[in-house]
Amino acid sequence: MPDTMRNTPRSTPAALPSPLNVRPFRWSRWFAFLLVLVGVAPACRSEKNEAAPSAVVPEPGAKDDGKQQGYLAPTGVAAAERPAATSAPHRYAPPSDVGGASKPKGADKKAEASANAFAPNDRGGSGNAGSAGQTAPGIAQPPPQQAAIDPNGRFATTYRPGGGHLAAFESAVARGIIPAGERDLVSDIGARYAPTVDAPKDKAMTVFTELERGKIAPTGGETHLRVTLRSTATKPAARPHLSVHLVLDVSGSMKGDSIKRAREAARALVDKLDAGDDFSLVTFSSEAEVKAVDGPVGSRRDQLKKTIDAIEEGGGTNISKGLELGYAQAKTKTIPEDAVRVVLLLSDGRANAGLLGTPSISKLALDAFQDGIQTSSFGLGEDYDGELMSAIAKEGAGGYYYLRDPEQIAPALTTEMDKRLDPVATAVELRVRLKKGVELLTVYGSKRLTDSEAARVRAQEVAADKQAEKRDKIATDRKEDKEGGLRFFIPAFARDEAHSLLFKVRLPEGVDKKTIADIEIRYKDRVAKKNVADESKIVAVYASSDAESASTQNASVVRTVQGFAAGETLAEAANLVASNNRERAVSLLTEREALLRKAAETLSEPLFLKDADRLARLREHAGKQTGMGDPLVLAMLLETASRGHLR
């Protein structure tokens, strides 16, 4: 078995709590209303909130015996309460507060009332169940188990470059709605919880797996599995032929510094392209126009820059027409079949001419990708349509960039050219097949795709397969769609990057060793110019006692669990604030803050204290009704902080 697939035990103290699994609330539509009131209208979309079931924590005063029963409090810490079981398949609430940490006055009563309000009993109902089946007073009931979910199907990937999750937050800062000093609350801090994995030298990608404990308790139970993808630092042997098509917003709102910086960035882009690369320029306002037809840069370089300098702004924003003309240029028959074709869309506004709906405009990007054209989007300033720009990048398998000010245009285009357009692997699919008796409980930061979403991902996979044959002469191998296992698809993986996925599973009892899952990764290796398919087994080693198991906790995985836990707690708190359940949001933040402080003490991890301090500040904001406590501002702040943790 390769070294990268081993589960390396690391000694750490007792078990720590597990995180929530919640779907982030799309606060943007509500936030847009707030911004309209101050003259701004950022990206908007709402998503229906789901009720969160309960967690599992030990009985008050129970001693930690080292067993892996989700949400075990750190050694020596008694849980204040134990919510009832839930019938929901993969959603559950955080544990109740742990002792020894500060919390707002009355938080215990609030948490208890909130938990009891939505925690079903063991028969799937709420509140008191009546006399039938009740346990006699004084007899402790076993903690309820979290229900397993179907371990087969396509799940969403969180591998997305560009920092788009910070878009609306930075817009609010730019408008003075949020003080700049609050930036540290939403900074991209997920990397601090990421594992250190050496880059592979003999192939484009590797997979590294670790369990939360080096040795599993003899009775099995709940634990976490972290799967990390790591790409090589080696560049592909030859830079591909680039076919770059810039679609530039020249509407009236671009007047001034924005259009000036856009011209400078476009000139720099032309200078960066090789003489043999293709380039075209489309501008759009109320209508769209091809300013420079597709063709090799070659001797046109100076003329292209003169054309760029002559661009003038004015009119409305017809994004769809601009894209249509850009895609037409990218389909020019003189472009070599092996070229990397990409449309770069830059806009500072929202569509008010042509197609207006996000689904209809983003479908243009999906159709283009099926024809071998990627689309990356760049949102500029404070008033662009973030939802639309994100959807275009997602459907077009490209990057999504938020540019707070015009000075960021050129660096963003450089990043896109250097990393995304020359990936080391394409058509990356990770598949995890759990063995019989192993149950899937949570896929953190992700969700199961609907049938229509899965169909779109499948279309991207087929398109990427065909593009690799044309571009890199790598044979197609995705004509058949094999089902089974948890499946994650990434259209392209950049050089020298890492990405982690976190799962919560329930293991059966066992002795010695047991294979708990098979893991497969396949991709188009653009360094070696071949298809790669690697398979390996994830083996759990069983301890001879619960105490031995507890002594083998992996501190690195625990840090990842805590990072995702904080992120998903923040997402759920955003849901609650948006649905006018501020008390429960405060309770959640209080609980997670206390757990992080205890984790910091148990593991001697100062980073947990910093995160706990951030949660405390957010909790204070949540206790106010104005300023940062305004429900629309607060929900946006919590959601953005959540995404920072989950990246």
400, 417 contact by CB (below 8 A) = no
Predicted confidence at residue 512, as pLDDT, reads 93
Question: Whole-angstrom Cα distance, residue 570 to residue 189?
Answer: 14
Predicted confidence at residue 645, as pLDDT, reads 63
Question: Whole-angstrom Cα distance, residue 16 to residue 560?
Answer: 11
Most confident range (mean pLDDT) of 8-17, 156-165, 572-581, 622-631 is 572-581
What value does the mean pLDDT take over residues 22-44? 41
pLDDT in tens, 282-336: 999 999 999 999 999 999 999 999 999 998 888 888 999 999 999 999 999 898 8
**Lowest mean pLDDT, pick from 223-237, 242-256, 370-384, 476-490:** 370-384
Predicted confidence at residue 627, as pLDDT, reads 60
256, 406 contact by CB (below 8 A) = no
**SS3 of 433, please?**
strand
Predicted confidence at residue 176, as pLDDT, reads 65
More confident: 423 or 636: 423
What is the residue whose two structure tokens read 């878009």?
167
Q: Among 282, 199, 258, 268, which residue's Cα sits nearest to residue 417?
A: 268
The DSSP code for 291 is E
Predicted confidence at residue 626, as pLDDT, reads 61
What value does the mean pLDDT take over residues 516-530? 94
Which residues make beta-bridge pairs with 504? Answer: 224, 442
Q: Among 620, 614, 566, 599, which residue's Cα sits nearest to residue 107?
A: 620
Secondary structure element (H or E) that encloses residue 363, with its range: helix 358-370
Q: How confident is the model at residue 467 (pLDDT cuts 50, 70, 90)?
A: confident
More confident: 480 or 642: 480
What value does the mean pLDDT take over residues 114-126? 29
Q: How confident is the model at residue 126 (pLDDT cuts 50, 70, 90)?
A: very low
Q: How confident is the model at residue 25 (pLDDT cuts 50, 70, 90)?
A: very low
Q: Is it the case that residue 532 has pLDDT exceeding 90?
A: yes
More confident: 603 or 375: 375
Domains and CATH numbers, the chain: 212-223+423-550 (2.60.40), 242-420 (3.40.50.410)
**Residue-by-residue DSSP string for 506-537:** EEPP-SSEEEEEEEEEEEEETTTTEEEEEEEE
> Half-sphere exposure of residue 142, counting CA atoms within 13 Å on the CB side?
4
Predicted confidence at residue 59, as pLDDT, reads 31
Predicted confidence at residue 547, as pLDDT, reads 93
Predicted confidence at residue 543, as pLDDT, reads 96
Q: How confident is the model at residue 80 (pLDDT cuts 50, 70, 90)?
A: very low
What's the burial of 318, exposed, middle or buried (CB within 10 Å: 0-12/13-18/19+)?
Answer: buried
Tokens of 130: 């009546």
**Percentage of the chain surpassing pLDDT 70?**
67
Predicted confidence at residue 278, as pLDDT, reads 93
Q: Is it the case that residue 170 has pLDDT exceeding 80?
A: no
Question: Whole-angstrom Cα distance, residue 571 to residue 642?
Answer: 5
β-bridge pairing 498-507 and 205-211: unpaired
Tokens of 260: 């000036």
Question: Whole-angstrom Cα distance, residue 231 to residue 215?
Answer: 28
β-bridge pairing 205-211 and 278-284: unpaired
Q: How confident is the model at residue 65 (pLDDT cuts 50, 70, 90)?
A: very low
For residue 61, the one-letter residue type is G
- Give how far Cα 455 sits from Cα of 238, 449, 452, 479, 489, Å: 33, 9, 5, 14, 12
Question: Whole-angstrom Cα distance, residue 414 to residue 615?
Answer: 35
- Give how far Cα 423 sits from Cα of 119, 233, 638, Å: 47, 11, 33
78, 99 contact by CB (below 8 A) = yes
The DSSP code for 204 is S
Tokens of 617: 């500040």
Q: Is it the case that residue 160 has pLDDT exceeding 50?
A: yes
Question: Whole-angstrom Cα distance, residue 223 to residue 505?
Answer: 6
Q: How confident is the model at residue 105 (pLDDT cuts 50, 70, 90)?
A: very low
**Lowest mean pLDDT, pick from 118-122, 237-241, 386-390, 535-539:** 118-122
What's the burial of 423, exposed, middle or buried (CB within 10 Å: 0-12/13-18/19+)?
Answer: buried
What value does the mean pLDDT take over residues 76-103? 30
More confident: 590 or 572: 590
Question: Whole-angstrom Cα distance, residue 12 to residue 15?
Answer: 9
More confident: 625 or 390: 390
127, 54 contact by CB (below 8 A) = no
Question: Whole-angstrom Cα distance, residue 2 to residue 213?
Answer: 19
Predicted confidence at residue 102, as pLDDT, reads 34
What is the residue whose two structure tokens read 């320029």?
281
Tokens of 323: 């894209």
Provide the mean pLDDT of the chain.
74
Most confident range (mean pLDDT) of 48-57, 276-285, 356-365 is 276-285
**Percentage of the chain surpassing pLDDT 90?**
27
Q: Is it the case that residue 406 has pLDDT exceeding 60?
A: yes
For residue 25, the one-letter residue type is F
593, 612 contact by CB (below 8 A) = yes
What is the residue whose two structure tokens read 């908007």?
44
593, 101 contact by CB (below 8 A) = yes
Q: Among 545, 550, 596, which residue's Cα sits nearest to residue 570?
A: 596
Q: What is the pTM of this model?
A: 0.65
Which residues make beta-bridge pairs with 242? Answer: 340
- Residue 429, φ and ψ in degrees, nearest 5: -125, 125
**SS3 of 116, please?**
helix
Question: Whole-angstrom Cα distance, residue 25 to residue 19?
Answer: 17
What value does the mean pLDDT take over residues 578-598? 85
Predicted confidence at residue 629, as pLDDT, reads 60
Question: Among the residues of 232-357, which ranges form H helices?
Answer: 257-272, 301-309, 319-330
More confident: 553 or 3: 553
Q: How confident is the model at residue 556 (pLDDT cuts 50, 70, 90)?
A: confident
Q: Is it the case that residue 363 has pLDDT exceeding 80?
A: yes
Rounded (10°) angle between helices 582-603 and 606-622: 170
